[in-house]
Structure 1
């Protein structure tokens, strides 16, 4: 019974991930808006925490503090405009950039989290009613999401980079051919730790997503059936799924924006990146507002 949950959850997630990949790519491009066009020294001199500090890096960081303010950022556009621009400048095929990484990510991440949640749901549910208390649902979601994210982080890093590559000038692109090529080059050029860059953010996001999505789905479905609003069927599942997806998107998007930016960073000289604590302070400020809910809406 436990294996069935892993297989069903994995297959469903792979199909969903491939189907919505263009939307996810547009989401990543929107989350990175402002990074290319705003040469803010305070942001440009950030670097991943695993990179070594040097005197020149410290001097560059100090000079950045006294640099003149950056020019105003280019106007930001919505998802439809971003999608049209991608098709016009990169072609329709660009909407599926990084789809191989999506398949691997869903295989590792979603299969693990949904399978583990199903196992814990079976063991923690009330034997009489078959329902699981909300607190246990949230706990199961946190545990399953955290473990799944840790397992799937390498594919997540590759996916973000492959989706974001087209926004850069040709000379600055990584040009990964596939998820295998991406992971291989990261290992050779940046070390094994690069595969888990932003892993703390990935784990936090996955815990929030899984706890809010799966727990709210079960809770909403039970409430609908308990109050006799709908019969147990496709309509109930769709209604609960839409509601759960909305809850998960709103809850996890701030961490998702930060995660995307950290994973997309290149190893360069500069001050050590402050991580999740610093980024909410610098990112929204340099993005002209509290924009950590930018492009809310991803599983």
Structure 2
């Protein structure tokens, strides 16, 4: 398999990532709804901090209870379109391309290598336990490689919800990475990396292992042949499994990556656990499933496009 698995997985991942990017952006915006962060007015350094949520300032002190108006995916999408323009739905797409190139190419390629190494030579069986183990390892390594692009993507997608004077206004993924290194240090590129790795391990194990398992079950039981119908059915089911398993980690990851760190000012979160505790305490346990509808709305099509494209690319490259 070698490099071939990386090429196949990379092409399929970039196609899937770009085609579902607006849904991912809406998911990120929804995950940040209700998050109370300090807003520093540029011309009033001594003014009290105010809570900020979902794209509008709420005129109440940061620590006072605030009523957050929660919007659904359609209204969030419409609001982005109305206030920021259609181009805003593709904010951070350069980071998506880089992320898929680094993260997904690595995880997909490694998974195929593990499949080749761990398939029983006598029976040809690649057991579910080995599929899950392969997914966990491949996802973790891929996430560590792609974390800088992931941080840049989250920030670029979230930028439009901030007041004009608070926006980072990155020109592209390269500018985002350069600016982060300059203002926050090189370690900022791996902010939330433990969360990214944990999420990627969960997503890759649930997504790739469940796709393979469901596809094999459908074919083995004679429900459908190894064709488009089987690929779509197995991939959509895999997308649902991955969404349910990963959403809580994804919410925390988004918030930790998006937090603004200023020298001399205590950051909003000390880490992943602190973010999780503060989120649940302030917004309730179901806050960990914020953005679930756009998550499944994106994860479903993403997984379908990913695996259908992957199967077609495999056919094209089968002789190489």
TM tier, shorter chain?
Answer: 0.7 to 0.9
Whole-Å separation in 2 of the counterparts to 1:288 and 1:143? 32
2:13 equivalent in structure 1: 13
**Would the aligned equivalents of 2:3 and 2:109 in 1 still touch at CA under 8 Å?**
yes
1:162 equivalent in structure 2: 156
Q: Which moved more, 1:71-80 or 1:99-108?
A: 71-80
Shift of 1:161: 0.2
One of 190, 202, 208 as aligned partner of 1:208: 202
Aligned-residue Cα RMSD (Å) equals: 1.8
Change (3 A) 1:27 1:272: closer
Shift of 1:279: 2.0
State how many pairs are aligned.
Answer: 273
1:226 equivalent in structure 2: 220
Shift of 1:90: 0.3
Whole-Å separation in 2 of the counterparts to 1:72 and 1:272? 17
Shift of 1:274: 3.4
Whole-Å separation in 2 of the counterparts to 1:10 and 1:256? 22
Is it true that 1:86 corresponds to 2:67 in the alignment?
A: no
Is it true that 1:133 corresponds to 2:127 in the alignment?
A: yes
**Secondary structure of the structure 2 residue equivalent to 1:177:** coil
Is it true that 1:24 corresponds to 2:24 in the alignment?
A: yes
Whole-Å separation in 1 of the counterparts to 2:190 and 2:214? 34
* Alignment map for 1:1-299 (pairs within 5 Å): 1-35=1-35, 38=36, 44=38, 69-268=63-262, 269-270=265-266, 273-296=269-292, 297=295, 298-299=298-299
Shift of 1:276: 2.1
**Would the aligned equivalents of 2:259 and 2:267 in 1 still touch at CA under 8 Å?**
no
Shift of 1:128: 3.6
Change (3 A) 1:118 1:170: same
Change (3 A) 1:274 1:69: closer
**Secondary structure of the structure 2 residue equivalent to 1:291:** helix
Q: Which moved more, 1:113-122 or 1:225-234?
A: 225-234
Query: CA deviation digits over 1:166-187, x for unaligned, max 9?
Result: 0000000000000000000111
Whole-Å separation in 1 of the counterparts to 2:158 and 2:245? 23
Q: Which moved more, 1:248-257 or 1:126-135?
A: 126-135
Change (3 A) 1:68 1:110: closer
Shift of 1:287: 2.1
Shift of 1:131: 2.6
Q: Structure with the greater relative contact order (CA < 8 A, sep ≥ 6): 1 or 2?
A: 1
Whole-Å separation in 1 of the counterparts to 2:62 and 2:183? 33
Runs of 4+ in 1 over 3 A off after TM superposition: none
Shift of 1:248: 0.4
**Secondary structure of the structure 2 residue equivalent to 1:292:** helix
What TM-score results when the alignment is normalised by the length of structure 2?
0.82
What TM-score results when the alignment is normalised by the length of structure 1?
0.87
Change (3 A) 1:122 1:287: same
1:48 equivalent in structure 2: none
